[in-house]
Amino acid sequence: MNKKYRVKYKILLEGANPLDNKEILIDNCMNGVHAQVRLEKYLNKKYINFKQLIVFECTEVTKTPFGDLDLDGGMDGIFKQFGDLFGGSN
């Protein structure tokens, strides 16, 4: 139960505009579903008019000496995070 997840989501509120483009890191989860359940419980406490959580992406994050690294997306995800290490000409 020591995994970390990055969740990208939207919050629907009763009688108010939705809160779009939200993102949070959640520590100490067993899996992605557990992270989403914990987030929903938190939002229920934070917003009295909370209606619904819409999750767009939930990815496991691993700590490395270079910072956090999203594991979902395979090698493409890793290259996207670090960019072109050799520069290349644009």
* pTM of the complete model beyond 0.85: no
Tens digit of each residue's pLDDT (9 = 90 or more) over 5-54: 999 999 999 999 999 999 999 999 999 999 999 999 999 999 999 999 99
Burial 71-81 (b: 16+ CB within 10 A, else e): eeeeeeeeeee
At which residue do the structure tokens 């995994």 appear?
Answer: 3
Q: How far apart are CA 61 and CA 59, in angstroms?
A: 6
Residues forming beta bridges with residue 7, ordered by sequence position: 24, 58
pLDDT for 82 beyond 70: no
